[in-house]
Amino acid sequence: MIFLEIKKVAVIGSGLMGHGIAEVFALSGFEVRIEDAFPEALEKAKASIGKSVEKLVKSGRIDQQKGKDTIARISYFSQMEPAVKDADFIIEAVPEIMELKKEVFSGIDKFARPDAIVASNTSNIKISSLAENMKHPENVVGMHFFNPPVVLKLVEVIKGEKTSQKVFDETFELSRKIGKTPIKVLKDSAGFVVNRINAPESLFFCLVLDQNVAKPEEVDTFARGQGLPMGPYELMDYVGIDTVVHSLDYYAQELSPEYGKCKAFRTMYESKNLGLKTGKGFYTWKEGHAEIPKASPTEKLELMDVLAVELNEAVKIIEEKIALPADIEIGVKLGMNRPFGPISVAEGLTNAEVKKKLETLAAKYGTVVFEPAESIKKGKLKEIISIKSFDQDGKKPATAPEVPAGSSSSPGDQVVIMEKLPGKVARISINNTKNNLLSSEVLSDLEKNILALWNDHDVNVIIVTGKGPVFSAGAQLSQFFPGSMDFMEHSRKGERTFRLLSEIPKITIAEMKGYTLGGGFELSLACDLRVGTEDVQIGFPEVTLGLVPGWGGTQRLPRLLGTSRASYLILTGTRFSGKEAFDMGIVNRLFPKEHVDEETLKFAEELAQKAAPTAAALAKRLINKGSEVPMDAGLEMESIAMGLLYGTDDLKEGISAFLQKRKPEYPGR
């Protein structure tokens, strides 16, 4: 497919979303025009973009020249015509008011080129409604960014009823070009994916108040206890009660009249208690912070109440062929800043328990919105969440059980990246959140990559590290587990995966930098050797969180340091530096922080060249297994290893190279 070469982008609306979207495009090299009818809004946008770019430069994310170029690419207009007349791509980012958006679209239709792509950043309104009076509705598409656009990766690309496949695909690829992670919304629906899943949740928390089930502060205290940064009512205050009410009204019109049942939010809206923007909502707001009364967490709600409602809506989205499970999972994780989405939740639950929970909620709160989706009613939850593609002929949907829900083929979205490097070295990098947290998905991908390298004779040494400045700050503790047995099996999974590193017939090196905490420290202990920077922060904080090191830490650290010192480090949760770890014998080499990646690679290449692969594989097995058996058995294993090595090509090459005073070239056999 030949795509339109997009160079000039026009953004209509210079508010928080508008100027953020403009900055994203400018950072990616596009010429950008921002249009707003209010000059003071344009001045505010210009100042905000300047501050944002300056912050990016100071943080080192971009250099000074790129910062200057980004600012230079943006022009400001108070008239529609000059802003859009020769633009290749136009995106509307005005407030969520249907009449206002249609007025903007009318102006674009009047002045834009007939072949220009016209997108809307609407978060709720159906794209087909906005395109209905356009001359070229086939060129109209949804491109929903999340706030703040410069930071958040997710973009929902929405296909309206008349959007051409070419425009849809081109907008999807454009989203990738500007560094975003797009998901495909294949059928137009109010709320699309993320906000559609949020819709019944908003109704749920309104009905909780309507029926006096619990107070806002009790619910929010409960929510924060589940690891959420904000409770639902604090978040609604922050977003604006008016926004929540308008959304529910729209859902009542487009999805189900049941969304109109909410009374508590409407009462607040009518009394102008809108939250942060008015200084008072559920809570009083001062200097941007909510004053939340101290309260005990409610015992009248369960986490499963919310998860079941979200999961139910996700199933409806799949049933209506709006989006596929993998895109729903990615959308919720990135759009709602969560470690897991509803598809992961569904994988850990039975159809029966989800169905029972939804029936209970529907009866308790008196709404059909919470009633189980058709697939759940029929006991087909597992089947529908495994759908890989929608069959256009209406036959049974294709499935792909071997592809984990929520995974992505895009390198930027891979949670573990494996690279084969020159010099018989491979590098496995954790790439999950800014602190490279270890989740079930990371463990699965780590296992897959270790096994892929197991019999690879082109690799002698494996570096295990984290993408960026951090090795790993530990386990992703906010991950969803249905019960204690599931959490236990998660621990066993980590233990088995890390054990592979001690058993793989390659030398493994942990490159410790930034934070190497908890599960990250356990991962490094599973490697044969450890290198790091002097300032790397290392430790086991588990006991201070009510846990224990559960991926081999309580077994490996005592074997390395002795019981007394290991007990102190584990029981106190003490953090220590790379230099202290070197002095204790945990870290084998220290490298300068600014060159740790290069020095680790150099060290790995040297090892790969001078250590005979067969001898190294047997030596590490003797070291690891020998510590688990009596001395006599260990010595017997050692003598057997010597016998196995006698006559190998590696031994012949090693002796030959030594006598000829040259570097060996081991064949690995």
Neighbour-count burial for 277-299, b at 16+ CB within 10 Å, e otherwise:
bbebbbbebeeeebebeeeebbe
Q: How confident is the model at residue 88 (pLDDT cuts 50, 70, 90)?
A: very high
The mean per-residue pLDDT over the stretch 413-420 comes to: 90
Encode pLDDT of 184-238 as tens digits.
999 999 999 999 999 999 999 999 999 999 999 999 999 988 777 789 999 999 9
3-state secondary structure labels for all residues of 478-504: CCCCCCHHHHHHHHHHHHHHHHHHHHC
Q: What is the pLDDT of residue 568?
A: 96
d(CA 315, CA 387): 11
Q: Helix 613-626 crosses helix 649-659 at what angle (to 10 degrees)?
A: 110
Query: Cα-flanking dihedrals φ and ψ of residue 552, to 5°?
Result: 100, -5
Element (H, E) at 382: helix 381-384
Q: What is the pLDDT of residue 615?
A: 86
Neighbour-count burial for 86-110, b at 16+ CB within 10 Å, e otherwise:
ebbbbbbbbeeeeeebbebbebbbe
Architecture of domain 612-659: Orthogonal Bundle (1.10)
CB contact set of 173 (below 8 Å; sequence gap of 6+): 3
pLDDT of 634 higher than 90: no
Domain 194-291 has CATH 1.10.1040.10: yes
pLDDT of 478 higher than 70: no
Q: What is the pLDDT of residue 413?
A: 66
d(CA 525, CA 536): 15
- Would you name the residues annotated as active-site residues? 522, 542
Instruction: Tell me the average pLDDT of the chain.
Output: 91
Neighbour-count burial for 541-570, b at 16+ CB within 10 Å, e otherwise:
bbeeeeeebbbbbbebbbeebeeeebeebb
The reported pTM is 0.73
For residue 576, what are the β-bridge partners? 538
Q: How confident is the model at residue 395 (pLDDT cuts 50, 70, 90)?
A: very low
Q: What is the pLDDT of residue 660?
A: 83
Residue ranges of the domains in the chain?
Answer: 8-185, 194-291, 303-399, 414-607, 612-659
Encode pLDDT of 29-71 as tens digits.
999 999 999 999 999 999 999 999 999 999 999 999 999 999 9
Encode pLDDT of 249-277 as tens digits.
999 999 999 999 999 999 999 999 999 99
Architecture of domain 8-185: 3-Layer(aba) Sandwich (3.40)
CB contact set of 199 (below 8 Å; sequence gap of 6+): 191, 247, 248, 251, 255, 259, 313
Query: Cα-flanking dihedrals φ and ψ of residue 158, to 5°?
Result: -115, 130
CB contact set of 65 (below 8 Å; sequence gap of 6+): none
CATH topology for 303-399 is N-(1-d-carboxylethyl)-l-norvaline Dehydrogenase; domain 2 (1.10.1040)
**Residues 85, 113 contacting (CB under 8 angstroms):** yes
To which CATH superfamily is domain 414-607 assigned? 2-enoyl-CoA Hydratase; Chain A, domain 1 (3.90.226.10)
Q: What is the pLDDT of residue 405?
A: 36
**Residues 503, 621 contacting (CB under 8 angstroms):** yes
Distances (CA, A) of 26 to 33, 40, 74, 309, 556: 10, 21, 7, 39, 50
d(CA 117, CA 6): 9
Within this chain, domains 194-291 and 303-399 share the same CATH topology: yes
Q: How confident is the model at residue 407 (pLDDT cuts 50, 70, 90)?
A: very low
d(CA 423, CA 112): 55
Cα angle at 299 between 296 and 300, to 5 degrees?
A: 125
